[in-house]
Structure formats: C-alpha cells, structure tokens
Amino acid sequence: MWYEDAIEKVDQSKIYSRRQIFDFLEESKPNYSVKSFEWVINSMVKDGLLIRVRRNAYKIASSNKTVLDYYEPTFNDKTLEIINKIQDRYPYIDFTCFESVQLNEFLNHLIAKNTFFVMVEKNVSEFVFRFLQEEYYDVLLRPNSNDWDSYWKQNCIVVLNQVTESPQNEKNKRAMSIEKILVDIVAEKTFENLYSKSEVKRIYETAYQRYIIDNTKLLRYARRRNKEKIVKEYLGGLGAS
C-alpha cells in the first residue's frame, strides 16, 4: 500500500503524535481529505504498521523492521502448580505470579537462583501464605531485608500484597504486565534483593525496544505507588515520557 512507502523513511525509534503521522501521509497524498487520513491511520494501527504506545502517541513499524510484541512471560512447572493450587483453594481472589528469572531478558547480570512471587489481595494474603505453608512450600510473607537475609532460599515463594488497580497482562491474567514490572522494580522493596539498582535503566531500555507499553497505564500505576517522579525520569531518558 502507498502508506507503507510513505512511512518507510520515518525513524522507528521515535514516538510521534497523530498530527505528525497525518503530516507524513499528507506529503504523499496532498489531495486526501481529513476523513480519509483518519481511516488510513486507523487501518495502519489495525495492520500493525503503527503501534499506539499511549493516547496520541505512536511508533512506526514498517514491513522490514521488527514489530514490537505484547509482553507474555512463560511460567515453569512449579509456578503453574502454585497457580492451580491457589485457584482451586481461593477461586474468587485476584492474584498475580512472577518468577525472578523472568527479569533475565532485561539484565546484564543474570539471576541464577529463582524466587517465586505471589501478589495477592491484601485482605487474603495471610490466608494464602498459611495455605502454601500447609502445602509444604518454603514461603515468606512480606519479608523485610532482615527476613530476606535470614530466611530466603532458592525456589522459595514470597507472598506480597497486590496493589489495587494494578495494570493487567493482556495475554495472561496471572502474569505481571510489562507496565507493572517497570513500576514494581522501583517501588517494591523486596524486588531490590534481586538486582543492582544500576540495572534499572537497562531494564527500561530493553523493555521499550521489545514490547508494546501503555504509558497511560504505566504512569497511573506509578502514581498509585508514589513513584511517578522516578518513573518519569527513566522515561525521559528514553524520549518516551
């Protein structure tokens, strides 16, 4: 299609407004109406040539360049077992699971010893903790730094409170969304035991290179966790704020 050629020369690394996309297209079709361009832009989004990163903000993904994916982490067998047991015991609660090794795709210094996190509604977190203990898992409940140093062991489970209105993963409701990860790595104290603070910038850079990220959801969640300022600082370094 003509609009694929029109955006071929556009820098994929930058973020553009709808008005800027309109201007790129108008250079090729100066006689088109505004309504026609609106239809073209909507078609480009549907076809994956434009990626909406937030309201009035788009990235280009032409046919010969890498298209960003939705973040969809995989779980190992133990995590799937934990998920199934919690769902069977507490079918109506909201919870999310996360393996520390899922961060390895973003890190320079890889995490070798896995930790399983279960983030669950605050009012039932202690019940889930006791239930997992009864199932003979090694499990910690909201550990502070001293608890972590004293009792953490490889492959243990850590139960944390799930912050209400956390952004959901589009593909798997039990997995963390990429927006939640990017906020929690600066907001969740327990996560600080997993990696060096110097790695956070790289995590943001790699995430934005690989995945579709909704900045509206990201910043809304950052505000809920009182980390909007620091998250915006990382985004500012990417040109994505």
Per-residue pLDDT band at 184 (split at 50, 70, 90): very high
88-107 pLDDT, tens digit each: 999 999 999 999 999 999 98
Is the Cβ–Cβ distance between 61 and 48 less than 8 Å?
yes
pLDDT the model gives residue 168: 92
pLDDT at 235 over 60: yes
Instruction: Please state, for a pLDDT cut of 90, what percent of the chain lies above it.
Output: 56
Least confident of 27-36, 80-89, 107-116: 27-36
pLDDT the model gives residue 155: 94
27-79 pLDDT, tens digit each: 888 888 888 888 888 887 776 677 776 667 787 764 444 567 889 888 999 99
Residue type at position 237 = G
Q: In Å, how far from its chain's centre is CA 58?
A: 18
Residue with tokens 């982490």: 73
Q: How many alpha carbons fall within 13 Å on the CB side of residue 43?
A: 12
Residue with tokens 């907001």: 187
Q: Residue 60 and residue 80: Cα distance in Å, rounded?
A: 36
Is the Cβ–Cβ distance between 52 and 33 less than 8 Å?
no
| DSSP conformation letters of 125-144 | HHHHHHHHHHTT--EEES--
Higher local confidence (pLDDT), 74 or 180? 180
